[in-house]
Structure 1
Amino acid sequence: MGGAENSFVRLVRALTRAGMPADAVTRTGSQVHVALEGHRQCFELPMRNALDLGSVLRIRALLRRHAYPIVQTWASRATWLTRAPAGIIHVARLGGYYNPRNFRHAHAWIVNTRGLRDWLIARGFPPGRVHWIDNFVPVDERPSPLSRADLGIPDDALVTIAFGRLVPKKGFQDLLRGMALLPERIAGRAHHLVLMGDGPLAAELGLQAQRLGLDRRVHFTGWIDAAVPALTLGDVMICPSREEPLGNVILEAWSKGLPVLSTRTAGGLELIEEGVTGLLCAVADPGDLARHWRRLLETPALRTELGERGRTHFSARYSEAATIAAYRSLYGELLRRGFTQGSTSSR
């Protein structure tokens, strides 16, 4: 699962733990449904596409039958297919710059960055109904599912970690080009890259690593569900995305005290205070990425400082407790305010 799916699963479980029982509706046979196995109530619906009238009717029937006071939808398709009956408040959550028309019929909106909030307001969404609530990442103390020995990496090597879906917008092709510009040894130590993830570019990236002469030092692990514990293998984490509205991988690296280098995407700029909680480099520019990467690898004190500041910032702002408190406050506000069936028409 990607960051959006993991965030959904985390929120459903965290709300329930906090005394706000949350039932879930997922696509039939989805990985999200599997991840929620054992949850108190999880319904499956086809939600095939935006024209799936059957799912629209079944969602409405489900909402009526259980008389939920609030329904919160996640991303475009689920939001478009949800038409809340009178008396039920519809909150739509966006984690990216999606088509606004898929969301306008909701009563209120949750976004996870300041940039997304400003973007919605600029497109006519009522400012008083657009709410910014940060993502959270649970602190995962499980042991790493991998060791350096498993991957054939020397104990004294410098290790960079990158992870995510292997798709063009994640920029792993730029990461490999950047690594090819670095020497094999930095500060007297071998340098290896561990790339955790899977996706349509997996084979192509493997071939690219071979063409660049990196195949002995780039380790493709495939998808790892326990990716956060595996971060303890690394000295540095890089987020090389070409497009990134937020970047949960940055939060996950901070949770483990890893120093972060990110491209200057919307998410990287939103999360990182440059030189304080991380470093930033140009998007889709392997040369600039390599320059910042080498500086981080050559400077142990910088790695330590950035890692410690990132962990402190994470604990203060992106903890489960802080995020769930914000949701509790918002739900209470919406229930006190209430919405009539036609209250969304005056925009």
Structure 2
Amino acid sequence: MGRVGDGKPRRDRAAGEAVRVLFVNAKQRPPLGADTWVHAEIMRRIDRERVEVHAACVLESGGEPTPTLRLLREIPDIAIRPINLGRELSGETRLSKVFGVLSLVPALASLVRLALYVRRQRIEVIHTADRPRDAAASVVIGKLTRTPVLVHVHVGYDARWMRGMLRWAIREADGLISISEFVTETLISNGHDADRIHLVLNGIDESRWVPPAGGSGVRAELGIGPDVPVVVTACRLFRAKGVAELVRAVGEVRDLVPDVTLLVAGREMEHGFVDELHHLIGQLGLHGQVLLLGRRDDIVDVMAAADVFAMPSYQEPFGLVYAEAMALGLPVVALDNGGTPEVVRHGLDGLLSPAGDAGALAEHLRRLLVDPDLRHRLGERGRQHVREQLTSDRMAADAADVFERVASGRHLAPAEA
């Protein structure tokens, strides 16, 4: 089947009528991840005079409402449709995966029902994430119903680790939404036509990222004095996030800041990595100065207890957490690669160092920890940058522009030969 603009029938829509968009997200288990949160924010914030929102998700898992359903129920003016694409197979045992494959039988019936829903509701655009199963199912439904499909790409394209199912879906989708220029460049460098790619930078709900009154609760809980310099990082714990490098950098800055404390908030996503961090902390004599907090529900309070936010993540596609830290008025220390420079402006909102330059990373921490005026200056600029450029409202408005272009067929290059 060709792409939009080369023969797909367009559904007639009266001038000024809202575009009917179906968001597909079959995530069943926590943690939901940034992609689910971003798509929910778009659904929540998008102008209902421009876009009519429909959402397909799994309603129950283990007899309980799925986290995705609970999130969607908080959004007004949305039509929720059940979907069943089978069990999530990532992270399961081989035997579990066998039973997961068997669950694909009812998934086929679910696909047919969703395709009928697309026809009945006259859906004009199907939007989904770059989760392999969701993306592939959405493309199949799009082909069955001749409805354009957009895959929202949240990671740099890399065929070396991406599943064949996802590579096929990205290739066959009518268009791609990219979260950063960095992600766009990875797609183009791997042969995807720039005319198919729409840039929609991520954004955050800045009203959620307000420092708590007083701000001393977490410090008191952890036994950290009000004058102790604190660095915080918040991320899923695996090696590419740079937590080990950050621990080493904290060890280096003790020459000028002997009482520096690092708070590490996040859930282990790479088996054995937390044990490695504990070993490293012991090696460097940082017991009591590097605190591994695990997953925290009060992450705003945890981050607000710090003086500096740091996450030297390698090739970060965007970095929502940077924007969240900036909204709290924290200066950011990070790497000058991936999509990070599109969020954090070196010398304006934070300090960026080259990947692998441990000395520069430590020096940036040192500079901020000993200079409260610099921290304040960068923190205020970062807060302003978020207000002006990195909000959920701006993100939703940009997404609405894309949906309107796709629905009218005013996008994309001709079909590939």
Choose which of 273, 296, 299 in structure 1 pairs with 2:368.
296
* Aligned CA-pair RMSD: 3.0
In the other structure, the counterpart of 2:27 is none
Whether contact under 8 Å (2:57, 2:68) holds in the other structure is no
Question: Given residue 105 of structure 1, which amino acid in structure 2 is its aligned partner?
Answer: E
In the other structure, the counterpart of 1:116 is 183
In the other structure, the counterpart of 2:136 is 80
Question: Given residue 346 of structure 1, which amino acid in structure 2 is its aligned partner?
Answer: E
1:321 aligns with 2:410: no
For 1:294 and 1:42, the matched residues in 2 are separated by 52
Choose which of 130, 152, 167 in structure 1 pairs with 2:223.
152
Question: Given residue 147 of structure 2, which amino acid in structure 1 is its aligned partner?
Answer: I
In the other structure, the counterpart of 1:106 is 173
Q: How does 1:1-347 map to 2 (within 5 A)?
A: 1=31, 2-15=33-46, 20-26=52-58, 29=61, 31-38=67-74, 40=78, 41=80, 43-45=82-84, 46=86, 48=88, 54=105, 55=107, 58-66=110-118, 67=121, 68-77=123-132, 78-82=134-138, 83=140, 84=142, 85-98=144-157, 99=159, 100-139=167-206, 140-141=208-209, 143=212, 147-183=218-254, 186=257, 190-199=259-268, 200=271, 201-337=273-409, 345-346=415-416
TM superposition shift of 1:110: 0.3
For 2:229 and 2:306, the matched residues in 1 are separated by 7
Paired residues, what number? 343
Offset from partner CA, 1:64-83 (integer Å, 9 cap, x none) = 22432221110141112321
TM superposition shift of 1:223: 0.8
Partner secondary structure for residue 126 of structure 2: strand
For 1:79 and 1:146, the matched residues in 2 are separated by 43
In the other structure, the counterpart of 2:7 is none
In the other structure, the counterpart of 2:98 is none
TM superposition shift of 1:26: 4.9
Determine which structure has more spread, i.e. the larger CA radius of gyration: 2
Whether contact under 8 Å (1:91, 1:108) holds in the other structure is yes
Q: 5+ residue gaps in structure 1?
A: none
TM superposition shift of 1:27: 9.1
Question: Given residue 152 of structure 2, which amino acid in structure 1 is its aligned partner?
Answer: R
CA gap 1:108/1:153 in 2 versus in 1, 3 angstroms? same
Question: Given residue 370 of structure 2, which amino acid in structure 1 is its aligned partner?
Answer: E
CA gap 1:9/1:185 in 2 versus in 1, 3 angstroms? farther
Offset from partner CA, 1:102-139 (integer Å, 9 cap, x none) = 31111111001112223323433333321000101111
Partner secondary structure for residue 377 of structure 2: helix
Partner secondary structure for residue 53 of structure 2: coil
TM superposition shift of 1:206: 2.6
Deviates more, 1:14-23 or 1:210-219: 14-23
For 1:300 and 1:312, the matched residues in 2 are separated by 18
Question: Given residue 173 of structure 2, which amino acid in structure 1 is its aligned partner?
Answer: A
Structure with larger RCO (C-alpha < 8 A, sep 6+) = 2
Whether contact under 8 Å (2:54, 2:81) holds in the other structure is no
Whether contact under 8 Å (2:181, 2:339) holds in the other structure is no
Partner secondary structure for residue 8 of structure 1: helix
CA gap 1:264/1:166 in 2 versus in 1, 3 angstroms? same
* TM-score, with structure 1 as normaliser: 0.87
For 1:134 and 1:246, the matched residues in 2 are separated by 8
For 2:148 and 2:334, the matched residues in 1 are separated by 37
Question: Given residue 158 of structure 1, which amino acid in structure 2 is its aligned partner?
Answer: P
Question: Given residue 43 of structure 1, which amino acid in structure 2 is its aligned partner?
Answer: P
TM superposition shift of 1:146: 5.2
Deviates more, 1:58-67 or 1:47-56: 47-56
Offset from partner CA, 1:211-241 (integer Å, 9 cap, x none) = 3211211222211234234321111000111
For 2:252 and 2:209, the matched residues in 1 are separated by 35
Whether contact under 8 Å (1:159, 1:233) holds in the other structure is yes
Whether contact under 8 Å (1:171, 1:284) holds in the other structure is no
Deviates more, 1:263-272 or 1:165-174: 263-272
Partner secondary structure for residue 266 of structure 1: coil
Q: 5+ residue gaps in structure 2?
A: 1-30, 91-100, 160-166
* TM-score, with structure 2 as normaliser: 0.74
Whether contact under 8 Å (1:28, 1:44) holds in the other structure is no
In the other structure, the counterpart of 2:13 is none
TM superposition shift of 1:60: 4.5
For 1:296 and 1:11, the matched residues in 2 are separated by 35
Partner secondary structure for residue 181 of structure 1: helix
For 2:131 and 2:83, the matched residues in 1 are separated by 17
